[in-house]
Chains A and B, each alone.
Chain A
């Protein structure tokens, strides 16, 4: 386990007031790996991503990116949020350009990179629209394009498709895989949908409810595109499900109502 082959090393304990959210959570993410994190709602998944992104300090421990503490000003990190996050006062094009502009990319280079990603997510016809003029699914595509435009080394996704209908969700899953295969960045994808996790990830980490601990770390050695109806897929999904079901409710691993906000 050398730091060179690991993009991200996590070793954190986090408290929210007196509430223990993450109890000595330890894992690493390899360079270019697509890691899915699964867990019951309220287990602190969103909080975990905020800590990984370096915008929320953990109570104890640290997050290392390429061997040094995470710093959003230096590390190239992108984040696709669960809630709508487009800027209503910017057009689709300017929304997608936001991350690049923060990184001080201008002129021809900015044009080229924004236009490239806009074509990938198929928003070409809507570049001059404001968010209130497009559908919720398109807004989420704008947010995904904004996250992918910066060519980040690490992309964090927080249940990005949860508000989409089934066909759009499936298209977006293929879209994200397609972009990832082209660009090859490290992805940490949070979801409470086990099937989605097994469909997308190289590896699935299953968390318990608060305080979150890792209860399983399952590799998904299936070639892509994956068939959710294939026996191997079904077997791995069943393994994940049995892990989740084996969590004993009596030990307080069921969703905790005290902090329903944390996703």
Chain B
């Protein structure tokens, strides 16, 4: 009899693996948003009996947002949806066994002889207190090797957080059922590789979608769709940082869209493994026009003791004419340039936000070694209680063998909300806004240009 029970169990334990080998997932479709959010649609074939039944769903994301679960199957209504996250562990098992009877097997360390007894768990506080017959003992108080065998596991203790749905079906039979939920732990961004040819004024750009899966779950053979947008989550929309758009575009990209978000479907089904970073190409443009510019921005009354490098800015467009000709999802642009031996070398990177087609972009790729600006407040004079005169001088130097033009920006003209007047300036400035002006300073090769300006302010 005992042997039968044994073999039966061996069969049972060994047969189950073959079944649970599959992840339990059905036909998977994943829609991934930028802000660490994904919508998973999992269509499984379920055998739903007539009447009430409970279905559990293994293979859902480890970071499922249980409150967003939707379930849909023909001729079936949902009674309730449960998300059990009381996890099975040795401690929980012992805790739940209080009042129950367990088997303990004591092994004599000298002889290996086993003594088997039934014991009632009285408490599991700090240590485990047992009642064996009429004796009260603390488990392994004598440090003797002792096996503890529990007859059963409480049904609500799970190996992993488990989603279950109680259904009421009007008929029995196998039918497709769609499970959909939101999960965190998956997100994507774009990574661009830009190879800039300064002499030709052109660049080649490849765009890659980079998606990451840290949900703890592998999604097998999933139909994948990427949404370039950050929908509000819990009523909170994330506001991005710098987007480096100089002028937002007004062109529509030839891509499918969802509301205001562009969609980037992956061409083929793919397996998104857990802990995987996956990149798929979405953009490949050669010979797009691009040029380099120098910019230096000085804060109000900023003086520098040592000349500071001007920023090198890469300017290009996402326009159809003379640009990349696509809407650009947010991400990092890494810029490369060929060195004297023809090998591409990294010259800097920057981020872009979601960029509409037709936009003009200006990415600061780094600081120029040879182009520097030394701003100095040469004079501050009080003319009256509400009138000050500030004289600024900016020494722009160029150690390159070619002439350059530097956009020299003086910021902070709205200093203390005062109106600032330019009394005199050595070259004509252009007003960018009430707060800043820009001088386009031509600097000869291996030379210098000094810009001076006198401002009148209230303070």
Q: Do they bind each other? A: no
Residues of B within 8 A of A (CB): none
